[in-house]
């Protein structure tokens, strides 16, 4: 009977311990709660919640439900989605010492080899070396200005191709952008027709966009899969590896070897690569860094600029009133006797606004590339653990209806001063990335986009294609992947009347 009676001291001690544990738990919860997000399943977390395409749209939906900071758990790998500009800037811009690293992607980074390129290079001394190299050649407006003549010459070639073969406008755009970046990076002149180096880079950039999407390969979640034979379920990626490696190595080696051969004959054209090979100490490590810094400039700049220009053609097809207003401004400021030049830019505010809207309407990299947190961090009362993958949803930031009214409409006027509507933020603050990972070629991309849009508008009218008497209205649909392009569409490109027609 006595054994059944609880000792009052035991009761008091039990209650005291229980209260202490509850207080400790609450304190820990108050100190280190994760941001809100969709409830995951035991062990696997939110793996089954992850979208398989156009992830930015699902992430935006979660933002509406859970708030602008969304937390996910992918088999123990924490991920944070930032759905607003203030949060993205506060973490990625202002806390660069913690948020500037890249995730270790087993497939694309380590096994294929993209971790040698700036986009997936870990934050550290080599990263800073690459950026220092690139900045010497195109790091600011003054450096980019030396390449204006090249950009305008290649734009003239683009106009001629558009005149002669307008239906192949997307191929012409790709060749135009490739010619500029290849010349700046390697002093290489692109051939008319098929060009082996352009084709090699096109294959590599398409590959990069596909294999770096979140959740593209299971080995990125379970790195141990790399050690399994290719016939084991989940290890099929190993059959694709040899071709992927050959593709990226060709992109790096072909143009680099071209420069070295030209330099040996003393017939090289000034370029980023030749400059660095001449001025940097000749060591094996420096040669590796020069080759991959150059690869980073071309691989990172070509595909994104192509996407933006393709979006320009799509927008002009769908929004003829915008096109007419832009052409009227060019006609009034530049006149019919010549084509627009870079010096005209300050006097073409509507063209400037149009370029901003091209970049906003469908950002070329809707999610950018994930950042990795290098130590535990606290923000807005939430714990963001070490090794968390942090993704800025650039697409959501640029389609926030509270910031960009009617965000799915193409409306350059949103950036022009008006008495009734506040001027929308410049999308260039977001589309080129954040903090220490901001795109090093942003000024070159911006200059190229201006010359392209202004000269095409001065010379051609873009409209909906007509087939068998039917007007074809393209849908503004975009591909998934790290770099997002308009899906194939048709349009009609016709020279404008007057002197502009003769120029083309």
* pLDDT tens readout for residues 226-281: 888 888 777 778 888 999 999 999 999 999 999 999 999 999 999 999 999 999 99
Q: Is the pLDDT of residue 19 over 80?
A: no
Confirm if 351 and 333 have CB atoms less than 8 A apart. no
Predicted pLDDT of residue 210: 83
Q: Is the pLDDT of residue 364 over 60?
A: yes
- Domain ranges in the chain are 32-503
Distance from the first to the final alpha carbon of the chain: 106
pLDDT in tens, 404-455: 999 999 999 999 987 557 899 999 999 999 999 999 999 999 999 999 999 9
Predicted pLDDT of residue 216: 76
Q: Is the pLDDT of residue 1 over 60?
A: no
Percentage above 70 pLDDT, the chain: 91
How far apart CA 117 and CA 109 sit, in angstroms, is: 9
Q: Write down the pTM of the prediction.
A: 0.90
How far apart CA 204 and CA 184 sit, in angstroms, is: 19
- Average pLDDT of the chain is 90
Mean pLDDT of 338-343: 96
Q: Is the pLDDT of residue 26 over 50?
A: no
Confidence of residue 29 (pLDDT cuts 50, 70, 90): very low
Predicted pLDDT of residue 420: 57
Confidence of residue 3 (pLDDT cuts 50, 70, 90): very low
Query: Which of 91-95, 209-213, 347-351, 393-397 comes out lowest in average pLDDT?
Result: 209-213
Mean pLDDT of 112-117: 94
Report CA-CA distances (Å) from 282 to 41, 243, 368, 426, 427.
Answer: 54, 31, 34, 42, 41
Confirm if 201 and 304 have CB atoms less than 8 A apart. no
Predicted pLDDT of residue 301: 80
Query: Which of 54-63, 190-199, 482-491 comes out lowest in average pLDDT?
Result: 190-199
Angle at 64 between CA 62 and CA 69, to 5 degrees: 65
How far apart CA 425 and CA 104 sit, in angstroms, is: 33
Predicted pLDDT of residue 218: 80
Mean pLDDT of 150-178: 96
Phi and psi angles of residue 467, each rounded to the nearest 5 degrees, phi first? -130, 125
pLDDT in tens, 190-225: 888 788 888 888 888 888 888 887 777 888 878 888
Ligand-binding annotation for 453, yes or no, is: no
The fold adopted by the segment(s) 32-503 is Cytochrome p450 (1.10.630)
Query: Which of 61-65, 235-239, 323-327, 460-464 comes out lowest in average pLDDT?
Result: 235-239
Question: Beta partners for 74?
Answer: 45, 77
Encoded tokens for 375: 């130590």
């Amino acid at each position: 009977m006595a054994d059944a009676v609880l000792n009052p001291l035991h009761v008091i001690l039990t209650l005291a311990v229980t209260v202490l544990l509850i207080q400790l738990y609450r304190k820990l919860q108050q100190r280190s709660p994760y941001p809100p997000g969709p409830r995951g399943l035991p062990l696997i977390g939110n793996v089954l919640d992850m979208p398989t395409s156009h992830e930015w749209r699902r992430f935006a939906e979660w933002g509406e439900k859970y708030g602008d900071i969304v937390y996910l758990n992918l088999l123990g790998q924490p991920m944070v989605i930032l759905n607003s500009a203030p949060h993205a800037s506060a973490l990625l811009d202002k806390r660069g010492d913690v948020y500037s690293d890249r995730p270790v992607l087993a497939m694309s980074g380590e096994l294929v080899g993209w971790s040698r390129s700036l986009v997936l290079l870990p934050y550290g001394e080599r990263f800073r070396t690459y950026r220092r190299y690139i900045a010497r050649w195109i790091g600011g407006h003054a450096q980019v200005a030396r390449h204006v003549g090249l950009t305008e010459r290649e734009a003239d070639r683009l106009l001629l191709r558009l005149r002669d073969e307008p239906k192949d406008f997307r191929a012409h755009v790709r060749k135009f952008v490739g010619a500029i970046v290849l010349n700046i990076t390697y002093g290489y002149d692109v051939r008319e027709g098929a060009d082996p180096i352009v084709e090699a880079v096109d294959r590599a950039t398409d590959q990069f966009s596909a294999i770096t999407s979140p959740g593209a390969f299971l080995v990125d979640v379970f790195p141990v899969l790399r050690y399994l034979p290719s016939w084991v379920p989940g290890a099929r990626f190993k059959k694709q590896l040899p071709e992927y490696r050959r593709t990226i190595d060709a992109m790096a080696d072909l143009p680099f070897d071209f420069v070295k051969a030209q330099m040996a004959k003393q017939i090289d054209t000034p370029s980023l690569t030749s400059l660095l090979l001449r001025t940097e100490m000749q060591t094996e490590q420096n040669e590796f860094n020069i080759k991959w810094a150059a690869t980073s400039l071309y691989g990172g700049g070509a595909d994104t600029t192509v996407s933006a220009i393709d979006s320009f053609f799509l927008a002009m097809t769908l929004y003829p009133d915008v096109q007419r207003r832009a052409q009227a401004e060019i006609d009034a400021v530049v006149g019919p006797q010549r084509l627009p030049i870079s010096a005209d830019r300050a006097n073409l505010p509507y063209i400037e606004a149009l370029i901003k809207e091209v970049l906003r309407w469908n950002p070329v990299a809707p999610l950018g590339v994930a950042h990795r947190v290098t130590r535990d961090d606290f923000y807005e009362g939430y714990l963001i653990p070490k090794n968390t993958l942090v993704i800025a949803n650039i697409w959501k930031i640029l389609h926030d209806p509270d910031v960009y009214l009617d965000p799915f409409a193409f409306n350059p006027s949103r950036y022009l001063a008006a008495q009734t509507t506040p001027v929308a933020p410049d999308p260039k603050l977001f589309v080129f990335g954040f903090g220490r990972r901001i795109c090093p070629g942003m000024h070159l991309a911006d200059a190229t986009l201006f010359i392209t849009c202004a000269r095409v508008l001065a010379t051609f009218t873009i409209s909906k294609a007509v087939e068998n008497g039917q007007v074809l209205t393209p849908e503004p649909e975009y591909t998934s992947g790290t770099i997002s392009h308009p899906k194939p569409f048709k349009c009609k490109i016709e020279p404008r009347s007057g002197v502009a027609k003769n120029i083309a």
